[in-house]
Amino acid sequence: MIEINLLPKDYRKGSGSLSLGKAGVYVIAGSIGLVILLAGITFYQMHQLSQLEENINKANQRAEMLRQDIRVVDALMDVKNKIHRRMTAVERLDRHRSTWVRILADFARNVPEFVWLGEFKELEIVKPKADAAGDGKQQQPEMASNQLPASQPVEIRGYTFTLNALAAFMIKMMRSDYFDEVELVDSRDTTFVDNKAYTFMVTANVHHLSEEDLRNMIAQADQAASESSHRSLN
């Protein structure tokens, strides 16, 4: 017996079968392609993220190495600056050795008993500001770096057991040819080896007298003494 199915093609299969058609196949194929594309993009981004983390770790290691190098360089620069300051001080003392020997020898003779010195520091010379409008006066040439100024402010710190000893110290400095404008800036009670003491800070001007200046001062003093004795005899 011959059977002829006259139903349309869409209804020819049984109810349990599923017919997608060309559109359905295209949709499924596109979905599969999209999933594959998204999976590829995901794996690519994961690979990029892994490389980025690796580069970050390398950069952190490099930064730590650079920080160590920077600390070493800073330490070396600090040592260099200290050595430079010491060399500058030594060169300055060597250039004006005789002047400083006389100043410090005179200063040591001025220190009485019961006075201990802790610091002798030169202060910067405050230069007057130039008048912008100009006052018509000729400016004096600047002093060469290898020359000592005529006078230099200094700061002296130390300890004393009695204020009388401190006063004697200041009086001796005032009578010295190398110091003037001696002034007590600060004095405070303290304890030194279980004994009552005082800390003090004195400022003064130190004069860098050369040998020629000293000879002139001695000659003037001798002349003044000779004139005084001559007047007394007359």
Tell me the pLDDT band of 168, cut-offs 50, 70 and 90.
Answer: very high
pLDDT at res. 132? 46
Q: Residue 21 CB: number of other CB atoms within 10 A?
A: 9
Return the CATH number of 110-125+148-233, one of 3.30.70, 3.40.50, 1.25.40, 3.30.519. Answer: 3.30.70
pLDDT at res. 210? 65
**Coil/strand/helix, residue 8:** coil
Residue 142 pLDDT more than 70? Answer: no
Tell me the pLDDT band of 60, cut-offs 50, 70 and 90.
Answer: confident
Q: What does pTM read for this prediction? A: 0.47
Residue 42 pLDDT more than 80? Answer: yes
Domains of the chain, by residue range, sit at 22-95, 110-125+148-233
Q: How far apart are the first and last CA of the chain?
A: 180
For residues 140-157, average pLDDT? 66
In b/e form, how buried is each residue of 57-77, taking b as 16+ CB within 10 angstroms? eeeeeeeeeeeeeeeeeeeee
For residues 152-164, average pLDDT? 91
For the chain, what is the radius of gyration of the CA atoms?
Answer: 47
In b/e form, how buried is each residue of 179-191, taking b as 16+ CB within 10 angstroms? beebeeeeeeeee
For residues 198-218, average pLDDT? 78
Lowest mean pLDDT among 36-50, 133-147, 214-228: 133-147
Q: How far apart are CA 25 and CA 18, in angstroms?
A: 12
Residue 16 pLDDT more than 50? Answer: no
Lowest mean pLDDT among 35-49, 60-74, 133-147, 218-232: 133-147
Give Cα separations from 90 to 70, 87, 94 (angstroms).
Answer: 30, 5, 6
Q: How far apart are CA 25 and CA 19, in angstroms?
A: 10
pLDDT tens per residue across span 86-134: 888 777 666 667 777 888 888 899 899 889 999 988 887 766 555 544 4
